[in-house]
A and B are shown apart, each in its own frame.
Chain A
Amino acid sequence: MDTPEKHCKIWAVGGGKGGTGKSFITSSTGTCLALKGSKTILLDADLGGANLHSFFGLNKPRYSLADFFEKKIPLQDIMVQSGVANLGLITGSIGSLDSESINFAQKQKLFRHIRALDADHILIDLGAGTHINTLDTFLLADRMIVVTVPEITALENMYQFIKSVYFRKMKFIFKTYDLNTTIQDTWKNRASHNIRSLKDLITHLRESSEYIRDIFDREISGFVVHIVLNQVRTTRDILVGENLKSACMNFLGLKVVYAGYCRQDEAVHENINNKEPFLIFNRISPVVKEIKTLTDNIITGTHLSVRKDLVNGSLSQIL
Chain B
Amino acid sequence: MEAYLKYYDLFELPPEATIEEIYKVYAYLKALYTGDAMETTALNTDFSEDLLQDYLSRLDDAYEQLKLLLETKKPALTKKTDVMDEGLSDWIKSIACFSGSALKTVRERMGVDLNDIFAVSRIQPHYLEDIENEHFSSFRAEVFLRSYLIEYTRFLSLDSQKVLADYLPRYRKSQGQA
Contacts and interface: CB of A to CB of B under 8 A. Distances in A.
Interface stretch (B21-29, B128-136, B165-173): B21-29
Interface in A182-216: 196-199
B42 A152 contact: yes
A247 B25 contact: no
A293 B39 CA distance: 23
A316 B46 contact: no
Interface stretch (A55-63, A165-173, A232-240): A232-240
A155 interface: yes
B12 interface: yes
A252 B46 contact: yes
A317 to B, nearest CB: 9
B38 A234 contact: no
Interface in B96-124: 116, 119-120
A312 B28 CA distance: 13
B28 A159 contact: no
Nearest to A197: B46
Given A152-B41, A155-B38, A251-B46, A310 B25 contact: yes
Nearest to B151: A236
A134 to B, nearest CB: 20
B178 interface: no
Contacts of A243: 32, 37, 39
Interface string A149-163: 011100110110001
A153 to B, nearest CB: 8
Interface in B1-22: 12-13, 17, 21
B81 interface: yes
B94 interface: no
Contact of A236 (B45, B81, B119, B120): B120
Interface string A258-285: 0000000000000000000000000000
B149 to A, nearest CB: 15
A4 interface: no
Interface in B48-102: 48, 51, 55, 81-83
Nearest to A154: B42
Contacts of B48: 196-197, 251
Interface string B143-155: 0000000000001
A310 B24 contact: yes
B150 to A, nearest CB: 11
A231 interface: no
B172 to A, nearest CB: 27
11 contacts: A158-B42, A159-B44, A197-B46, A235-B120, A244-B39, A247-B39, A247-B43, A250-B55, A310-B25, A311-B24, A312-B82
Given A198-B46, A199-B51, A307-B25, 18 more contacts: A152-B42, A155-B42, A156-B42, A156-B44, A159-B44, A163-B46, A234-B120, A247-B39, A251-B48, A251-B51, A310-B28, A311-B13, A311-B25, A312-B83, A313-B82, A316-B116, A316-B119, A316-B120
